[in-house]
Structure 1
Amino acid sequence: MKRSHIFPAALSVVIGVPALAGCLFGPERMCSQGQYPVYALDNPTGAYCETNGQPPQPGFASYPPKRVPKVVGDQYDRWPLAQDYPWKDEVRTP
């Protein structure tokens, strides 16, 4: 193999392997095992994962019971206080 062909081949491996790894491992989970996601009451992008059995910290709330997002980008990965939230009647805030 010519020396000029080695760099592009190596570069494609360096870029391609991590890109494929994302596909191989599947969608990114919202939280680790033993945790559940909560959302911020005053910020549409604010969220964190709370330990199972613990209430959310002040300023945060739990998702409606049947609408808890499991993976990033799933149908429930939305801010429950948004005007267009489809399940608004199920939202309970502290």
Structure 2
Amino acid sequence: MRRFLVVALLLSGVAGCSFEEAICSSGEYPVAAVDSLTGRACVPDGDPVPEGYVRFPQGKEPRHVGDEWDKYWESHKLDQRGNEIE
């Protein structure tokens, strides 16, 4: 049993596994509800943004729970054109 745990730990380090929780699943992109601090959704790649939502500005998309942009958007809103609301 001990040998199995050691091997599993070594392989996870070699494989570069990450324990970060993704905002969206593979094949999806995150969107924000207009004028909201909490409204978010994930949309399948290739599908349009649903009404009432906008894409995050390029380069400011949250990728993982608790990352820089996930935390940033907890206190910043977007308007219907995807511009930050002052």
After TM superposition, the score normalised by the length of structure 2 is 0.62
Other-structure match for 2:62: 69
Q: Matched residue of 1:69: which SS?
A: coil
Report which structure shows greater RCO (CA 8 Å, sep ≥6).
2
- Provide the C-alpha distance between the structure 1 equivalents of 2:46 and 2:58, rounded to a whole number of angstroms: 14
**Partners of 2:36 and 2:56 in 1: how far apart?**
14
Tell me the matched-pair count: 62
Between structure 1 and structure 2, the one with the greater Rg is: 1
Which structure 2 residue ranges, 5 or more long, are not aligned? Answer: 1-16
Higher helix share: 1
Matches within 5 A, 1:1-94: 26-77=19-70, 78-79=73-74, 80-81=76-77, 91-92=82-83
Instruction: Give the letter for the 2:83 counterpart.
Output: R
Q: CA deviation at 1:59?
A: 0.5
Name stretches of at least 5 consecutive residues in structure 1 with no aligned partner.
Answer: 1-23, 83-90
Equivalent pairs: percent with the same residue? 34
TM-score (norm 1): 0.57
